[in-house]
Amino acid sequence: MTLELHEVAVAPKGAGPLFPPITLTVRPGEVATVMGPSGIGKSTLLDAVGAHLAHGFTLSGSIRLDGRDLLPLPPETRRVGLMFQEAVLFPHLSVGDNLAFGLARSVRGRAARRAAVEAALDRAGLADLYDRDPATLSGGQRSRAALMRTLLAEPRALLLDEPFSKLDATLRGDLRAFTFTHIRSRKISALLVTHDPADVEATGGSVIELTEWAPRGSTRECPHHTRRRNPDPERGETP
Ligand SMILES: Nc1ncnc2c1ncn2[C@@H]1O[C@H](COP(=O)(O)OP(=O)(O)OP(=O)(O)O)[C@@H](O)[C@H]1O
């Protein structure tokens, strides 16, 4: 799925935009990285795509997923999945029921749904944990369970907000590889916020750097966000 942002800007009510308007296209299977200093608005930009923007913000520009205007749609119909630094599971549901909650409605019937969840647990190295209380999982197991819950919803776009930063190095590498492979094979378009160069390296996708918006009349220069694109092997481009 292609995610297109055109002149997207977010502004706290009564104030100017956090960063100069962003225009970018994320191709199917691509992970585009959003970088920039703390507080510049990286998470806020993802919130805008996922329809989770806080009331204190106004949004301008357009956001399309496979040509469809996302802005009028509520979060539950956008088919945009989220993955955060803190993996949160519902505490009152078993691990398996947490994943079943995310499972796409197209999987029908109790037995088929159970089998789909068990297969997902297996793929994430969580076999036999269907009935476990989420509170008893390790941090890494919780991250993997939350990721599988997100992926089982069959999102068309994914928003990844520092999703691997709390994991140890080995687990981070494993989960990153698993996530990016899934994104490529399902042709999902993904936006990643990270401070970790190893994440950026692994994406092979575009990098967007958000820079501060200098208000009109300011004597400072008004820097614009910059975009660099990694080579696309499918277009015959080489590094
Ligand atoms: N609900 C809100 N209402 C008004 N302002 C907010 C709200 N939430 C965040 N902000 C402000 O919006 C700005 C952008 O925050 P955001 O979390 O998007 O930055 P970020 O680039 O993701 O930062 P970090 O790298 O530290 O996570 C910050 O100045 C923050 O204080």
- Of 102, 101, 167, 97, nearest to 132 by C-alpha is 97
What pLDDT score was predicted for residue 139? 87
Q: Is residue 71 part of a domain?
A: yes
Q: Is 230 a member of any domain? A: yes
Atom from ligand 1 closest to the CA of residue 47: 18
pLDDT in the model for residue 26: 97
pLDDT at 108 over 90: no
Residue 85 confidence class, pLDDT cut points 50, 70, 90: confident
In a domain, 110, yes or no: no
Predicted pLDDT of residue 216: 46
pLDDT at position 214 is: 64
Amino acid at 27: R
Residue 46 CA to ligand 1 centre (angstroms): 11
Share of the chain above pLDDT 90, in %: 67
pLDDT tens-digit map of 149-194:
999 999 999 999 999 988 888 888 988 999 999 999 999 999 999 9
Which residue owns the Cα nearest ligand 1 atom 16?
Answer: 41
CA of 94 to the centre of ligand 1 (A): 33
Report the C-alpha gap between 23 and 208 in whole angstroms. 10
CB 38 less than 6 A from any atom of ligand 1: yes
Nearest CA to ligand 1 atom 2: 56
Instruction: Give the total number of structural domains in the chain.
Output: 1
* 121, part of any domain: no
Q: 191 is in which domain, residue-wise?
A: 3-89+154-235
Q: What is the CATH number of the domain that holds 62?
A: 3.40.50.300
Residue pLDDT, tens place only, 119-151: 999 988 899 999 999 999 998 899 899 999 999
Residue 223 maps to a domain: yes
Please tell me the predicted confidence (pLDDT) of residue 134: 96
The Å distance, Cα 33 to ligand 1 centre, comes to 18
Looking at the predicted complex, does its ipTM rise above 0.90? yes
pLDDT at 206 over 60: yes
pLDDT at residue 215 in the model:
54
> 89 pLDDT exceeds 90?
yes
Residue 38 included in any domain: yes
Asked if residue 113 is part of any domain, the answer here is no
Is there an atom of ligand 1 within 6 Å of 194 CB?
Answer: no
Q: What is the DSSP string of the chain?
A: --EEEEEEEEEETTS--SSSPEEEEE-TT-EEEEE-STTSSHHHHHHHHHT---TTEEEEEEEEETTEE-TTS-GGGTTEEEEESS----TTS-HHHHHHHHS-TTS-SHHHHHHHHHHHHHHTT-TT-TT--GGGS-HHHHHHHHHHHHHHT--SEEEEESTTTTS-HHHHHHHHHHHHHHHHHHT-EEEEE-S-HHHHHHH-S-EEE--PPPPTT-SS-----EEE----GGGT---
CA–centroid distance, 117 to ligand 1, in Å, is 35
Domain assignment present for 77:
yes
